[in-house]
Amino acid sequence: MEDLIIIGGGPAGLTAGLYAARSRLKTLLMERLSPGGQVLLTDTVENYPGFPEGISGFELMDRMRRQAENFGLEVQSRDIIQLLLSPDKKEVVTDKGRLETRSLILTMGATPRKLAIDGEKRLTGKGVSYCATCDGPFYRDREVVVIGGGDTAVEEALYLTRFAKKVHLVHRRDELRAARLLQERAFAQEKITIVWDTIPTRVLGNTGVEAIELKNVKSGDVSRLEVDGVFVFIGYNPNNELVKGLLELDSAGFVTTDNDMQTSVPGVFAAGDIRSKLLRQISTAVGEGATAAFAAERYLENMT
Ligand code: NAP
């Protein structure tokens, strides 16, 4: 039996793994593919302390993984099918068998939210994208639209100006949600045009994106914008499929915890983007991962 199983290998999971490995807990980190999480989709991280020139998302996560493994963290690629959670028994059912554990830290993160409009699904991968770092280089000297007004949308719109000749940023209100610094950069970037008070209603095209249909929410006017790519950054949904009905969730489906990352089931902790909280950042995920590992260690000590 494991002392601790960590599910998810983003910043929260890898930090929990680092702390647990240093505490000499018998720990296993499970990740569907390979560790890294959503940060891998970020070109440059510039607000994680300690890197004054910024650091690529890939390099930061590679460093976190190597650091945890240097202290003995075992990482396995596993598809998790089911969790059985009770105060007395915790079991992880995977594609390669069942494992029992005395405690669990859940760091499954979140997944980009979809617009749920006509044409979006059909043209995903054919011009509709949720990752500028992955697909931006395909749009050299072309025209793209970015949907959203938060940090992600503005940051990715700025990134896309490296390639695209024009970036239309479509936001449903008349004020951006993004941090002021990002807003200032977007306003100063000549390639970015902001389309206010507007929502997308259809993605148009046969074999690839040709245009997007937009609706002004104040006037009701419908228009068509010819673009080659549609980048959607409208927030995230928690990856809570495994814990629905097992743990307490908030109204948006994020896992609720106390200050020590303890969920509604004793011995089950949650950290990072899956957790109900104010700020989703690498820096907050890392702190929560450390707290969860420490709390799990305490929980195990009190069990014996
Ligand atoms: P977010 O902050 O939730 O923003 C989502 C944006 O999409 C909002 O502007 C929202 O409009 C809009 N939106 C939501 N649903 C929509 C819909 N159906 N149609 C059209 N627009 C829609 O999400 P995020 O920008 O991905 O950020 C998530 C978290 O990560 C935040 O905590 C953010 O601070 C953090 N983050 C930080 C950084 C950084 O620090 N560099 C980078 C990326 C993300 P409204 O404004 O009207 O609600």
Q: Could you list the active site residues?
A: 131, 134-135
Q: Report whether residue 149 contacts ligand 1, using a CB cutoff of 6 Å.
A: yes
The C-alpha angle with vertex 106 and arms to 267 and 90, in degrees rounded to 5, equals: 45
How far does residue 107's CA lie from ligand 1's centre (Å)? Answer: 20
Q: Report whether residue 148 contacts ligand 1, using a CB cutoff of 6 Å.
A: yes
Q: What is the pLDDT of residues 38-89, one digit of tens each?
A: 888 777 888 899 999 999 999 999 999 999 999 999 999 999 999 999 888 8
Beta-sheet pairing, 143-147 with 229-232: parallel
122 three-class SS: coil
Atom of ligand 1 nearest to the CA of 154: 25
> Among 44, 117, 177, which is best to mutate for testing ligand 1, by the most ligand atoms less than 8 A from CB?
177
How far does residue 149's CA lie from ligand 1's centre (Å)? Answer: 6
pTM (2 decimals)? 0.85
pLDDT reported for residue 76: 94
How far does residue 236's CA lie from ligand 1's centre (Å)? Answer: 8
Separation CA 50–CA 194 (nearest Å): 33
Atom of ligand 1 nearest to the CA of 153: 25
292 three-class SS: helix
Q: Report whether residue 142 contacts ligand 1, using a CB cutoff of 6 Å.
A: no
First to last CA, the chain: 14
196 three-class SS: coil
Q: What is the pLDDT of residues 166-205, one digit of tens each?
A: 999 999 999 999 999 999 999 999 999 999 999 999 999 9
35 three-class SS: coil
Separation CA 23–CA 26 (nearest Å): 9
User: Which amino acid is present at 126?
Assistant: K
Q: What is the pLDDT of residues 274-295, one digit of tens each?
A: 999 998 889 999 999 999 999 9
The residues that bridge with 31 in the sheet, in sequence order, are 77
All domains of the chain in start order, with CATH: 2-111+236-303 (3.50.50.60), 114-232 (3.50.50.60)
CB 233 within 8 A of CB 152: yes
**CA separation, residue 203 to residues 127, 150, 193 (Å):** 10, 21, 19
How far does residue 130's CA lie from ligand 1's centre (Å)? Answer: 13
